[in-house]
Structure 1
Amino acid sequence: MSAEEYKTQGNAAFSAKDYDKAIEYFTKAIEVSSTPNHVLYSNRSACYASLKKYEEALKDAQECVKINPSWAKGYNRVAAAEFGLERLDDAKKSYEKALELDPSNAMAKSGLQAVSDAQLAQNDPTMGMRKIFSDPGLIEKLKTNPKTAELMKDPSLVEKVKKLQTNPAGLSTEMFTDQRLMTVLAAILGIDLGAAPSEPTQASSDNDVEMKDAEPAKPAESAKKSEPEPKVEEPVDDSKAEADKYKAEANALYKQRKFDEAIELYNKAWETHKDITYLNNRAAAEYEKGDYDAAIQTCLKAVDEGRDMRADYKLVAKSFARIGNSYLKKDDLKKACEYFEKSLTEHRTPEVLNKLRSTEKEVKKREAEAYIDKDLAEKARLEGKEYFSAGDWPNAVKAYTEMIKRDPSDVRGYSNRAAALAKLMSFPDAIRDCETAIKLDPGFIRAYIRKANAELAIKEYRKCLDTLTAAREAEVKNKSTANLNEIDSLYQKAMAQRFAPLEGETYEETMARIQKDPEVVQILSDPVMQTILQQAQSNPAALQEHMKNPDVSRKIMTLMAAGIIRTR
């Protein structure tokens, strides 16, 4: 699996509070990532913090900020771990660093306040705790807080909190005997040391030109998608301003589909100021021009330069995505998948994820089509037949599986494999193979019979009877009688087993159970059937006339098998 898929599973496990499993997934994501990804270390840090493994949480958080020192959330992770290790001065500095990078960061603000309160309590435990526990509505708030509601159902814990409201100095002693108070204190302070993993919310400064990835854009569509995105305000030096002028001119030419002139100006922009946005834009023009090899080389350069200058990971993700799109145009699907995965590792977007899935699907389809060979399919069928005759069921399954791969349109492969699977007692798999065979050829009676036998083996009597009814209809439609005796015999066998006495069951108990059977109850409550049964009591010969109706016949046979109707 790709790093993005492991990350998605890790996030799901974290949401389910399975932190150990989440750590396992995030670790795998880190291992398969082609380049270090700060988000993965941040997410794993949150998992460790949730397990109160603060040393590990701190190590991952520090790695996160090492990879991306401009991401405020990374410093929040560092601070949370330091807070858990009671390194309050360090935690304060880390939260302050987060606010320096993002002054509006709510997590950093609340964390800094929590650190300040903890420092106050540390320096003067009585005064600090008195302030924390001074709220007269504290008990009710804790009962409604999702993090403490379950704990506060314990009267003994409620009593301890009440005592701490009158004597907060006793908190340190109580916490040694009741660890739940740490959770209560954290809830009061409003800090979550294990905040959920999330995607970065840092604004992108990408002023990139978008392009239509799947098909060559029409002039009007290309112009629409080429409009630069809004610019995030940031300090601009003289070279940057000059480069942006070149880019603006190039964007106008791009809209007019004058790609060679646009490429020349994007080059000037790059030479004037090193921003990989210009390279990505140049690659967009090369792509639209149809020079996919040039677009690939330009994007690879953008990735290399972007790594060196610590460019926004979204820009790098866009470069990888365009390489993938270019390979897609070159019909090199495996290479396209490779670079779509790299793009998703940098930054997840629905567009690239959908492109990856559809390309992977096409790869599998082509591989399957390239593998088809009817001659080799027949060879595999004969091998399977030999294994089956010799009682070597596992190898028979393998041979018939090869036959199916070589010729998926031959129903015999599925039906024969179902027979071998049934010998191995793998009845659900046998049923699925038979259903596939029936779907491919509704007139292939052997598949119906094998499916019915498998359903009978697992005591799915109702399904078995329905399958045999369908088999009879298909046989009649084929204008054949070759399989009717076998179908009818199996039908009677299924009926008999369905209503047979259970081990140790008396006749009265059997009849009581049968009369509660949903189908029997439905038949007996049917007004039409009630009329027919009343006629049969006075004129048994009338029953034979009604049996000409297939639906009535099935219901009467069910009642006969159940012992409701007896024949002399």
Structure 2
Amino acid sequence: MADPVAIDVSRASPGLWDRVSTWVSENKAVAYTIAGTVVVITSAGAIYYLSGQKSSPSNATTEKRKSKKERRKEKKAAEEAQKSGISLKDEEAATTPAAPVVPKAATVEGESELPEINESTVANFSLEEKQTYSQKLKAAGNKAYGSKDYNKAIDLYGQAILLKPDPVFYSNRAAAYNAISDYEKVVEDTTAAISMNPEYIKALNRRAHAYEHLGYLSEALLDYTASCIIDSFQNEGTAQSVERLLKKVAEKKGKAILAGKKNRLPSATYVSNYLQSFRPQPLPTDLEESVELEENTGKGQLQRGLIALTKKTAEAYETASKAFKEAITLGDLGEHEAYALSMRATFLYLEGDLEKALEDLNKAIELQPSLTQAHIKRASMHLEAGDKDLAAQGFEQAIAQNKDDPDIYYHRAQLHFILGEYADAAKDYQKSIDLDREFIYAHIQLGVSQYKLGSVASSMATFRRTIKNFSQVPDVYNYYGELLIDQQKYEEAIERFETAIDLERQTKPMGAINVLPLINKALCLYQWKQDFKAAEDLCKKALILDPECDIAVATMAQLLLPQGRVTEALEFFERAAELSRTEAEVVNALSYAEATRTQLEVSEKYPQLAARLSQMEAGPGGPQMR
């Protein structure tokens, strides 16, 4: 399963991205890996997670008898063999089903007595002689290969092929070509082997390895995926190769997207959720709306931006972003310079320019160290950049400035949550509540943390109490519905989502409606009743209200997959990548796009593998559903 995303109102409802990323079913059959686990999407509408580390009890017993040094040595050898795909062991098992079984030559008898085989002499041999000499030539080639005389091995395998074209001979010669890094020849020979036996795993892995070296990453991904399916996901090395290739392909395409991408604000839903993760602050008295300021001044533009934020629409957020930037350019902000820098940093961050956002926050803190919100934002940005130590340090610096600011503890709780430290997260959420009981999101997140800790009764009690105290706030119903889905209480969840949707319509202007309850209801209807039409209609409504909502786009892709509308799903995954802000988000979206694209190719090139997956699903002791 994908790594859990922290439940943060700056992104989405709890668990939403987890489900968007993993519940989808697919009737064409596709396999890909997320965080080291092979995800198999089957026709039954379920997702299975298969470990590539299974072993029989007898194997485990044998392993225990070996020394640690022996096991390390064998593991290293196996990893190297898997990486390069050059092992020749048990190649005879890969002959085509239609080919007669030829006994394995016990020894290489009289290698010097083997006849010279070339295109002009091959016709002189009888069928029986061809069978006999081809096996002896293969054995001689294996011996040469074992002695690292790769050119000789290539010649011997080539003679065997002239006598009897066989997928094993081609694959062995490919292994020899691989050893001398002639990857074009590896592709040629493995392709010949696969044309004779489409389910020849070693040939597929060797060709994938060669494709990867040649830079043909999508082709390598396809071969590794097919190999995974054929091998019933039992080979951990191949599964890891699929994961590695998905990431490589996504990163390569992601860099191209980001290189040509202009920084822009994400959806209104995203911006609203991020901004409301901070407690609302009153405007400085000299920037209030009743105060008339010239728009061609720094203070006037700062005022204009702050007023625009209250409207919570996409257009208003664009206005605010431009105004904060203009305010810094115009200058003469006096005591508000640090505040203006903090606001410009907020929108630079939302647009995806983390580096410039941090520069502004550093300057703001230098100008006004007591501006705790700047400390909090900087710490959160360090966390997004993957530096948890700097993030923790930033929260401590904020506490040193004002230990009674409840926002500090709320956002530090997010750090704990991301790290899976749910008990510490709950403590910080409670501390935030103790300092200010009127901020609903601290109550919501406390309930979610309790749920993650396994205290379901406490979590439900927290949500019921929060609903009682904040009955007109749609978010609490939306988040509560999320947890009800997780408990498979679908009917109750639907009721909560519908309440959230109604309150959004009643309390907000059309352009400021949060579409997450619509998306959650769509997912619930799919999980509960497999009602694709109703779910798809809800997603369409969400996209009408907020066309830039990346979660709505990704959810549409997931709804289209199990209906067999794979090409449309691919378009939505690619659209989600375009809407993503950061490199990590782009790569994540493209990973699913590439998995979907691979599925299409697998279906076209290896249609028999769909049936193979169905058999795996139905067989005894099959994969366990999560």
The TM-score with structure 2 as length reference comes to 0.25
Structure 1 or 2: more helix by fraction: 1
Higher relative contact order (CA 8 A, sep 6+): 2
The TM-score with structure 1 as length reference comes to 0.27
